[in-house]
């Protein structure tokens, strides 16, 4: 349990294991993991990341457990979840 009383879960983001409170969105976990440079690249190669926080802009798309184009701002972390950003795959 964390200080807030929430259960802790582990997710893997671009190979980094991160422990977060249950109920944390994937977008928030990405920020905690240091993905401040974005989660994907535009067709011009510009970094993109969560912007609206409600799924409208679709800039926060990531691959979760092999499923592409999942909105990180609308998805809660699950224990054992594997999140991959496009930027990690293009390095």
Q: Which range marks the domain in which residue 66 is found? A: 8-86
pLDDT in tens, 31-78: 888 866 677 777 788 877 777 888 888 888 999 999 999 999 999 999
Say if 1 falls within a structural domain.
Answer: no
Residue 77's pLDDT is what? Answer: 97
Say if 64 falls within a structural domain.
Answer: yes
Phi-psi region of 14 (alpha: psi -120 to 50; beta: other; left: phi over 0): left
CATH number for the domain that contains residue 28: 3.10.20.740
Say if 33 falls within a structural domain.
Answer: yes
Say if 57 falls within a structural domain.
Answer: yes
Planar angle of CA 52, 87, 47, nearest 5 degrees: 45
Q: Record the pTM.
A: 0.81
Say if 76 falls within a structural domain.
Answer: yes
Domain count, the chain: 1
Sheet holding 61-64, edge to edge: 16-21, 8-13, 82-84, 61-64, 67-71
Residue among 45, 18, 15, 22 nearest 31 (CA): 18
């Amino acid at each position: 349990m964390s200080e807030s009383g929430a259960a802790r879960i582990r997710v893997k983001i671009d190979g980094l294991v991160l422990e977060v409170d249950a109920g944390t969105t994937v977008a928030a976990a990405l920020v905690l993991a240091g993905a401040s440079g974005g989660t994907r690249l535009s067709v011009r190669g510009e970094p993109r990341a969560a912007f609206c926080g409600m799924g409208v802009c679709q800039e926060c798309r990531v691959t979760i457990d092999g499923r592409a184009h999942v909105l990180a701002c609308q998805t809660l972390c699950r224990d054992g979840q594997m999140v991959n950003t496009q930027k990690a795959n293009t390095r």
